[in-house]
Amino acid sequence: MPLINERLECPRYELINGEERMMTQPATNHSRISSNLNWIIHSYLRGKKKCKLFGEVDVYFDENNHYIPDLLVVCDKSKIKYDGIYGAPDLVIEILSPSTAKTDRYEKKAVYEKFGVREYWLVNPKDKSVDVFHLVNGKFELDDVYHDYNQVEWDMLTDKEKAAQKLKLKVSLYDDLEIDVAEIFEDMIETWE
């Protein structure tokens, strides 16, 4: 009970288009996905890249927009300050939940685009998919929607459908970082008892 009371006493807020919104506590699968991505990206960046990975840190775009993305990568060290990130990260990853999906898909996406986030991911735990957007000429373009399939779902696809599936997600910031989509959704809770 103390943790619940502590969260209620010190809730976290984002400022979205000038409106203060309290953040909800992430669900178990949300946390699983965040941990998986954190491990994958951190392992890649460790010791060899100038870019830094952050999880749930304050990002200040302007006086009306202060967000706390699930994960982000910043390559310009001048944006990294003691109390948060000032300016657009290079990569932002939002893990969708029923209470945040609409905001992440529309309001936040528009601000990320406006301020020049180079790559934006929307990770959907429910259907095990990742929508990847790249900034092209100042506008987000959908690169692709990547899916993880269980064996039953995979077996139901035709050979043509299987051939069209992208099971590895190429991170546009790097020439040599591809992520197996199944690793993003590894160890998720599938059923509730």
The answer to whether 168 touches 181, Cβ cutoff 8 Å, is: yes
Residues 6+ apart with CB under 8 A from 87: 60, 61, 76, 79, 115
Q: pLDDT band at residue 191, thresholds of 50, 70 and 90?
A: low
For 36, the enclosing helix (H) or strand (E) is helix 28-45
Q: What is the pLDDT of residues 115-171, one digit of tens each?
A: 999 999 999 999 999 999 999 999 999 999 999 987 888 888 888 887 777 788 999
Q: How many CA atoms lie within 13 A of 163 on its CB side?
A: 3
Q: How many CA atoms lie within 13 A of 126 on its CB side?
A: 5
pLDDT at 76: 95
Domains of the chain: 11-145 (3.90.1570.10)
pLDDT at 90: 97
Can you count the helices (H) and strands (E) in the chain? 7, 14
Residue 74 or residue 11, greater confidence: 74
Residue 15 or residue 121, greater confidence: 121
The answer to whether 38 touches 20, Cβ cutoff 8 Å, is: no
Average pLDDT for residues 169-186, to the nearest whole number? 93
The answer to whether 79 touches 87, Cβ cutoff 8 Å, is: yes
Check: pTM over 0.95? Answer yes or no.
no
Q: What is the pLDDT of residues 55-98, one digit of tens each?
A: 999 999 999 999 999 999 999 999 999 999 999 999 999 999 98
Q: Helix or strand or coil: residue 111?
A: helix
Which two structure tokens, joined as six digits, stand for 127? 């259907």
Which two structure tokens, joined as six digits, stand for 134? 């790249």
Least confident window among 24-28, 41-45, 63-67, 102-106:
24-28
pLDDT at 10: 63
Residues 6+ apart with CB under 8 A from 186: 32, 36
pLDDT at 78: 95
Degrees (nearest 5) of the Cα angle 44, 59, 88?
70
The answer to whether 33 touches 183, Cβ cutoff 8 Å, is: no
Q: pLDDT band at residue 106, thresholds of 50, 70 and 90?
A: very high
Rounded distance between C-alpha atoms, residue 171 and residue 132, angstroms: 9
